Amino acid sequence: MKQVYVVGTADTKGPELQYVKSLVEAAGAAATLVDVGIKAPQVAVDITAAEVAACHPRGANFVLAGDDRGLAVAAMGEAFAQYIVRRDDIAGVIGLGGGGGTSIVTAGMRKLPVGLPKLMVSTLAAGDVGQFVGASDITMMYSVTDVAGLNRISRVVLGNAAHAIAGMAMHTPAQVKTKPAIGLTMFGVTTACVTQIVSQLEREFDCLVFHATGTGGQSMEKLVDSSMLVGVIDITTTEVCDHLVGGVLSAGPDRLGAIARTRIPYVGSVGALDMVNFWAMETVPERFRGRKLYKHNPNVTLMRTTPEECREIGGWIADKLNACEGRVRFLIPEKGVSALDAPGQAFHDPDADAALFDALEKSLKQTALRRLTRLPLHINDPAFSAALVKNFREIIQ
């Protein structure tokens, strides 16, 4: 029988965990209380901390026998992630915690498939929760008071959370037979290209467009790893710029990693590789203040990549694609990589573009399955989107 897993540190949150479990069960869902605490629990649990800790690659003692709380919390997070992915009876997961508990529970939640209900009640949920949510679909609920006893506030907040996870677990959306899904990446400056692609493919495919803001690329690749996509048209690889140059919208060093791991059919391009992203103008690091900057809006500032940076970016992408053993097509629009990279526009720089294109061409190891094509077009030209679609149709069959 599928269970709602109620997870937290029972050495400090025992009564609260028991309370949530009782409400989940009263709502009609089966529930299991999982302890991820470091010390002895305050209440009876269904899954002990030792059972969870035993899933750590270095064993339970490594997690529980030390004196350093910080190391123990990190190790328990690793152990819980290993424990939870081995379960096949999960209807949903609800966690309660402060800083340590939130870190432990969300480490496991992030490993679960998109669509499986995940709700984290946390003292940290009113702030920046990006490190806890990552590319997953975790719902964060602010606890208002500390998770430190049952009172007139916590009973209501935890009660709402319990009923929410029970509802999600018991009333999953009906499975609808849909078209196969593909992932596409887009920025405002590549919207015309992606819109044209979607219009040509939407009758055959469920086109999932991801905003290339760091988490967008991570989310798309999480779906790739979860076998939820049949192909990728990765027009907007701009997150690589932020990763290598130091912008605020990096998808991290594993960008394109899922493409290699899964061998999914992949069509890529150089969309928005002319820019690095920062927040408002005053937040741009001092070392970049003399660079070509463009105020995209009051909250976002763009910086033009230099020829030297473009060579590094091109080589990095080529190295990632060289690790891909699936069908790969990479198309280069020689007349510009974004709406800002065209004659008369703020980021038009033929030398930087040439450095990028040459680095890609020289570094990419072309094979029968992995090909690079240069076209005398701008990325937003209808003919370029048509070429991308043509290549995608060839490799998806």
Q: Within a domain: residue 272?
A: yes
What pLDDT does 174 receive? 81
In three-state form (DSSP H/G/I as H, E/B as E, the rest C), the secondary structure along 36-83 is CCCCCCCCCCCECHHHHHCCCCCCHHHHHCCCCHHHHHHHHHHHHHHH
Q: What are the mean pLDDT values of the chain's consecutive 10-residue runs (397 residues total)?
A: 97 97 98 97 97 98 93 97 97 97 97 95 95 95 96 97 98 84 97 98 97 96 94 98 97 98 98 97 96 95 98 98 98 98 97 98 98 98 98 95
Q: Within a domain: residue 144?
A: yes
Asked if residue 61 and residue 186 are part of one domain, the reply reads no
Length of the chain: 397
Q: Which domain holds residue 57?
A: 3-170
Asked if residue 235 and residue 163 are part of one domain, the reply reads no
Strands laid side by side in the 231-234 sheet: 206-211, 181-186, 231-234, 266-268, 328-333, 370-375
Asked if residue 81 and residue 198 are part of one domain, the reply reads no
Other CB atoms within a 10 A radius of the CB of residue 68 amount to 9
The domain boundary residue, chosen from 147, 170, 193: 170
φ and ψ at 93, to 5 degrees?
-130, 130
- The CATH code of the domain that includes 204 is 3.40.50.12030
Q: What angle do CA 192, 203, 233 make, to 5 degrees?
A: 50
Q: Within a domain: residue 285?
A: yes
Question: Could you say which DSSP state residue 286 is in?
Answer: G
Helices and strands (H, E) in the chain, number of each type: 14, 14
Longest C-alpha distance within the chain, in Å?
70
Residues 145 and 152: their CA atoms lie apart, in Å, by 10
The domain boundary residue, chosen from 130, 150, 170: 170
Asked if residue 130 and residue 38 are part of one domain, the reply reads yes
Residues 230 and 7: their CA atoms lie apart, in Å, by 34
For residue 295, give the nearest of 362, 340, 353 by alpha carbon.
340
* Contact between 201 and 188 (Cβ < 8 Å): no
Asked if residue 211 and residue 138 are part of one domain, the reply reads no
Asked if residue 208 and residue 115 are part of one domain, the reply reads no
What pLDDT does 176 receive? 73
- The CATH code of the domain that includes 28 is 3.40.50.12020
In three-state form (DSSP H/G/I as H, E/B as E, the rest C), the secondary structure along 371-388 is EEEEECCCCCCHHHHHHH
Asked if residue 219 and residue 303 are part of one domain, the reply reads yes
Q: Within a domain: residue 176?
A: no
Residues 106 and 97: their CA atoms lie apart, in Å, by 10
Asked if residue 298 and residue 149 are part of one domain, the reply reads no
Asked if residue 203 and residue 98 are part of one domain, the reply reads no
In the numeric block, which tokens belong to residue 384?
């370029």
In the numeric block, which tokens belong to residue 82?
């290993």
- The residue with tokens 């763009």 is 302
Asked if residue 74 and residue 189 are part of one domain, the reply reads no
Cβ partners under 8 Å of residue 160, min gap 6: 141
Domain count, the chain: 2
The domain boundary residue, chosen from 170, 191, 209: 170
What pLDDT does 147 receive? 93
Residues 15 and 34: their CA atoms lie apart, in Å, by 13
Q: Exposure pattern of 12-49 as b/e (b: 16+ CB <10 Å)?
A: bbbebbbbbbebbeebebebbbbbbbbeebbbebebbb
In the numeric block, which tokens belong to residue 396?
């998806």
